[in-house]
Structure formats: structure tokens, C-alpha cells
């Protein structure tokens, strides 16, 4: 069994959809195909919803263009005799979308659940089109199979229930089966939800894990996982092989090629992932598996996370890094907040971590509550923060065997005048990270890439 995921970059045009058809029809194995919305559509669905809610009447023209795009694609990819029946399936979905837009326009508001219903139409439509484009394929309804539950203010996959539903529905043929990625429904209310932007990768991983697939193939628009974001570092090269942990670190620190939670379900079941290029299917891509690291390579790639802030706790209590980090991270996790990097400086009695800027206000509130006794007796003097930062990461399983690496990379950054606000002080895991100014991040990535790979 193979699970294939085609992203928006693979299903954006009739030409790339023709490649998808060829790839799926050329398979010898049973396959489940997970697809995203047509390229760029999710952004468009959201911006049009905002227009409608704000009273901008041009939402009707946006809607018309989106409808036309879907009908054109059907005419170009679905066999002539089948196209009318595909249009009959898409037309009620477009009616639903139009009614939703008119509704938010009327009430001049865009509730979160309504937005979730609006964006779901992207994958609900694309999956029907792709299923009909491949005459042997059948369609499966992701809203019935992928269930979420509330975790703080987020919707997260109900993994047990989802695994059971996916297994019941997908382990029997006929194959191939096509379903939409990203979209889901709340396990209790049935309300439409989703797995977060970029979440089709995660849907595919849940399917692969549920079916004990032999491999999860992520088809996209680049030749594999690259040593850096190619839009920032054009010299980035394909990484032939990497470990699950390396890919997880790079994705957590901003490598957009895979949505971070994707790795867990397949890692857990030791199902390898292959990243492949829909536009160049002959390229070998990148294999992500439980490989033991190549002793020759230290760093496999670099990545960066923008919109970060640094929170620092100062005072003599902060020198007890274990106690402070344990309590701080516990307090943050009670609100579902996720800090990224830990840097402790015993001599300066400070303890710092990076966190998404959107989570800062809530994080500070939680920390003030948690450390109220220490703030009162002055064993902690202040909790301070700096915004406008980015976290830069160099990742490789062998980094822990190269104690000089963090000093070397830090010195390279400082030699170009890039100020380091915090860095992991010990290479205790597979990732070295540096907090720097956001406006310097592209320069820093280019610099580290040059030192490490060129």
C-alpha cells in the first residue's frame, strides 16, 4: 500500500493534474491519494471571505472566477463523457460557497466555524475532480473519516478515532481511493474543522499510519527536501536521505516542505516518507526514514522560523535551569503554548526561550502567574521579552558529536555583524538554534548555507 499526497502546487493547473493522473495510473500497488485544494485556492477562499464580511462587493467577482476555474479544470482533465456528472457534483458545492459568502456579507462578520466551512470547499471540490479524472478511482469523504477534538482553542486530530475510521473505510478496495487533505469534522458536534494550514501532509500521514502503508509519498514542486528554502537560498541542494528526527527539526524550524505534525504518525510506525517532484517524477527525491546518520555529514540542512520573540527570566533563581524550564514549560503547555529554544546562561542568571510572537502575551501571563512567589521575593527580578526576531536552525543527527559546531556557526554569524540574542548552549540534540533579528534572517541563512554546503 502506498499513500500519495499531492499539494496545491501539484494540482493547480490542468498540466500538473495530467502528471498526477499519469503518476497514479502508473502505480502497481494499491494506493490512497490525498489531495490539497487547487493551488492558491485556500488563500483566495480566505481573502474573499474577508472581503465579503467587510462589505466589499467585489467578493461576487472573486467567487465567479473561482467557480470558472473549477469548471475549466474539469473540462480539461476529466474525460468528456464524465465531465457533466463531475460538474453536477461540484455545482452544489459552489452553491454552498456562494451562500456562505452572501451570509457573511449580510451579517458583516466572519465567525471561525464559518471560515472553516468556507475553506473546506477547496479540498471538497479538488478531491472530487481528481477522483473523476482517474476513471478507476473512487472518492472517500474526509469529513466522515478525519475527526478532530478541541485542545485549548485549537482543533487537533482525534488520532485513535480517526485511525479506526480510516482503517474501516480505506483498507478495502477498490483502489485507488482519492480523498481531500486538510479537512476534518469535530468528533462530537460534526462541525467542519481543519488540521491547520498546510495540513494535507498530516492527513496523508494519518492515512499511511492507519493502513500500515509501505511508504508515504509527498509530491510537491521541488526535487526533494533541500538544504535550505530555495526561495531564500537558490543554491540549496537536494538532501538524498535524512532521518525522521532531522526532518522533524527542520520542519519545526520553518522548512515549509512538510507540515510539522506529519512526521509523528509515520515515525511512530516506521513508515518511510519520500518527497518527490510532480513536475519531474523521474527525480529520486528525498528519503526520510529511521536511518542511522552518515558519519561524514554533520549538518543536513538549515531553516528559519520568522515572527518569533524571546522571553527571558532574570534573577538568581533563573540559574537553576532545570527547575525553571520544568515549571515554565509546564505552565505554558497548560495553555497549549509551544516554546522553541532554550538558552540558559548561569553566569548572567538568565534563562531564555523563543516563542511565536502570537503566543507572547499569553505566555507572559502564564509565567507571571507561575513564578509569582519568586517575583515577590525577588529571586526572579524580571520577565522580559523582545519581539521582531527569528530562530535560525542548523540540523543534523551528528551535531551532538561535533561540540565545536555551535561556536563555529555563531562566529560566522557574528563576523558579519549579525547579533545573536540567544543560542542553544550545548549541542545536546540534533539541532543548533540561534535567535537573531528577523530582518537579518535571509542574510544569515545564505551565509550559513555557504559555510556548510557550498
Nearest partner of 178 among 126, 218, 121, 116, judged by Cα? 126
277 binds, among ligand ADP, Mg ion, ligand ASP, none (CB under 5 to 8 A by kind): none
Q: In whole angstroms, how close is the CB of 111 to Mg ion at the nearest point?
A: 26
Q: What does the H/E/C string look like for the chain?
A: CEEEEECCCCCCCHHHHHHHHHHHHCCCCCEEEEECCCCCHHHHHHHHHHHHHCCCCCHHHHHHHHHHHHHHHHHHHCCCCCHHHHHHHHHHHHHHHHHHHHHHHHHCCCCHHHHHHHHHHHHHHHHHHHHHHCCCCEEECHHHHCEEEEECCEEEECHHHHHHHHHHHHCCCCCCEEEECCEEEECCCCCEEECCCCCHHHHHHHHHHHCCCCEEEEEECCCCCECCCCCCCCCCCECCEEEHHHHHHHHHCCCCCCCHHHHHHHHHCCCCEEEEECCCCCCCCEEEECCCCCCCCCCCEEEEEEEEEEEEEECHHHHCHHHHHHHHHHHHHCCCCCCCCEEEECCCCEEEEEEEHHHHHHHHHHHHHHCHHHHHCCCCCEEEEEEEEEEEEEECHHHHHCCCHHHHHHHHHHHCCCCCCEECCCCCCCEEEEEEEHHHHHHHHHHHHHHHHC
**The one segment of 3-11, 80-88, 137-145, 209-217 that binds Mg ion by CB under 5 A:** 3-11
Site string for ligand ASP, 141-180 (x = CB under 6 A): ----------------------------------------
Q: Does 198 bind ligand ASP (CB under 6 A)?
A: yes
CB nearer to ligand ADP: pick between 10 and 158 = 10
Binding status of residue 7 toward Mg ion by CB under 5 A: yes
Under rule CB under 6 A, residue 260 binds ligand ASP: no
User: Using CB distances below 5 to 8 A depending on partner kind, what does residue 285 bind out of ligand ADP, Mg ion, ligand ASP, none?
Assistant: none
Per-residue cell: 204:
496523508
Query: In the bound complex, what is the minimum distance in angstroms from residue 199's beta carbon to ligand ASP?
Result: 5
Q: Which residue, 105 or 200, has its beta carbon nearer to Mg ion?
A: 200
Q: How far is CA 286 from CA 220, 243, 297, in A?
A: 12, 10, 16
Nearest approach, Cβ of residue 79 and ligand ASP (Å): 26
Q: Which is nearer to ligand ASP, 200 or 309 (CB)?
A: 200
Q: Min. distance of Cβ 275 from ligand ADP in angstroms?
A: 7
Q: Among ligand ADP, ligand ASP, Mg ion, none, what binds residue 42 when CB lies within 5 to 8 Å by partner kind?
A: ligand ASP
Binding partner of residue 83 among Mg ion, ligand ADP, ligand ASP, none, CB under 5 to 8 Å per kind?
none
Nearer to ligand ASP, 105 or 194 (CB): 194
- Candidates 12, 176, 181, 301; binder of ligand ASP (CB under 6 A) is 181
State the residues that interact with ligand ADP by CB under 6 A. 7-10, 36, 198, 220-222, 225-226, 228-231, 255-257, 301
Closest CB to ligand ASP among residues 32, 399 = 32
Q: Least distance to Mg ion from the beta carbon of 370, Å?
A: 36
User: Closest distance between ligand ADP and the C-beta of residue 183, in Å?
Assistant: 15
260 counts as binding Mg ion under rule CB under 5 A = no
Please give the Cα distance from 124 to 56 (Å, whole number): 26
Out of 198, 285, 301, 339, the residue judged to bind Mg ion by CB under 5 A: 198
Using rule CB under 6 A, residue 37 touches ligand ASP: yes
Cα–Cα distance, 2 to 23 (Å, whole number): 12
Binders of ligand ASP among 42-101, rule CB under 6 A?
Answer: 42
Q: Which does 299 bind (CB under 5 to 8 A by kind): ligand ADP, Mg ion, ligand ASP, none?
A: none
CB of 202 to ligand ASP, least distance (A): 8
Nearer to Mg ion, 198 or 254 (CB): 198
What is the distance, to the nearest Å, from the Cα of residue 340 to the centroid of all Cα atoms in its chain?
A: 16
Q: Which residues bind ligand ASP (CB under 6 A)?
A: 7-8, 36-37, 42, 122, 181-182, 197-200
Q: Which residues bind Mg ion (CB under 5 A)?
A: 7, 198
Amino acid at each position: 500500500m502506498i499513500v500519495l499526497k499531492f499539494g496545491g502546487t501539484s494540482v493547480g493547473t490542468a498540466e500538473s493534474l495530467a502528471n498526477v493522473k499519469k503518476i497514479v495510473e502508473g502505480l502497481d500497488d494499491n494506493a490512497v491519494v490525498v489531495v490539497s485544494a487547487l493551488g492558491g485556492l485556500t488563500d483566495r477562499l480566505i481573502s474573499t471571505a474577508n472581503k465579503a464580511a467587510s462589505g466589499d462587493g467585489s467578493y461576487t467577482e472573486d467567487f465567479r472566477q473561482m467557480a470558472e476555474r473549477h469548471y475549466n479544470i474539469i473540462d480539461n482533465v476529466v474525460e468528456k463523457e464524465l465531465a457533466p456528472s463531475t460538474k453536477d457534483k461540484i455545482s452544489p458545492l459552489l452553491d454552498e460557497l456562494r451562500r456562505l459568502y452572501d451570509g457573511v456579507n449580510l451579517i458583516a462578520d466572519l465567525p471561525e466555524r464559518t471560515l472553516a466551512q468556507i475553506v473546506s470547499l477547496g479540498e471538497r471540490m479538488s478531491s472530487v475532480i481528481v477522483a473523476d479524472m482517474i476513471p478507476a478511482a473512487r472518492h472517500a469523504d474526509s469529513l466522515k473519516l478525519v475527526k478532530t477534538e478541541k485542545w485549548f482553542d485549537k482543533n487537533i486530530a482525534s488520532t485513535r478515532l480517526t485511525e479506526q475510521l480510516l482503517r474501516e473505510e480505506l483498507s478495502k478496495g477498490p483502489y485507488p481511493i482519492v480523498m481531500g487533505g486538510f479537512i476534518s469534522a469535530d468528533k462530537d458536534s460534526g462541525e467542519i474543522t481543519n488540521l491547520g494550514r498546510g495540513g494535507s501532509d498530516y492527513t496523508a500521514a494519518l492515512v499511511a499510519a492507519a493502513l500500515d502503508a509501505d511508504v508515504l509519498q509527498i509530491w510537491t514542486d521541488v526535487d526533494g527536501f533541500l538544504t535550505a528554502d530555495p526561495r531564500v537560498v537558490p543554491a540549496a541542494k537536494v538532501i538524498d536521505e535524512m532521518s525522521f528526527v532531522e526532518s522533524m527539526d527542520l520542519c519545526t524550524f520553518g522548512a515549509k516542505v512538510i507540515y510539522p505534525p506529519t512526521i509523528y504518525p509515520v515515525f511512530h510506525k516506521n513508515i518511510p516518507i519520500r518527497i518527490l517532484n510532480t513536475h519531474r517524477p523521474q527525480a529520486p527525491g528525498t528519503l526520510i526514514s529511521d536511518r542511522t546518520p552518515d558519519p561524514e555529514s554533520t549538518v543536513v540542512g538549515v531553516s528559519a522560523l520568522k515572527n518569533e520573540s524571546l522571553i527571558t527570566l532574570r534573577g538568581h533563581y533563573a540559574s537553576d535551569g532545570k527547575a525553571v524550564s520544568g515549571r515554565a514549560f509546564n505552565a505554558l503547555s497548560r495553555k497549549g503554548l509551544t516554546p522553541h529554544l532554550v538558552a540558559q546562561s548561569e553566569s548572567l542568571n538568565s534563562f531564555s526561550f523563543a516563542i511565536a510572537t502570537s503566543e507572547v502575551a499569553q505566555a507572559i501571563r502564564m509565567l507571571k502567574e507561575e513564578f509569582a512567589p519568586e517575583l515577590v521575593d525577588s529571586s526572579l527580578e524580571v520577565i522580559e521579552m523582545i519581539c521582531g526576531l527569528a530562530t535560525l536552525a542548523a540540523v543534523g543527527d551528528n551535531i551532538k558529536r561535533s561540540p565545536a559546531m555551535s561556536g563555529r556557526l555563531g562566529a560566522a554569524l557574528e563576523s558579519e555583524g549579525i547579533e545573536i540574542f540567544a543560542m542553544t548552549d550545548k549541542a545536546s540534540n540534533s539541532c543548533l538554534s540561534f535567535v537573531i533579528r528577523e530582518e537579518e534572517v535571509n542574510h544569515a541563512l545564505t551565509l550559513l548555507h555557504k559555510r556548510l554546503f557550498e
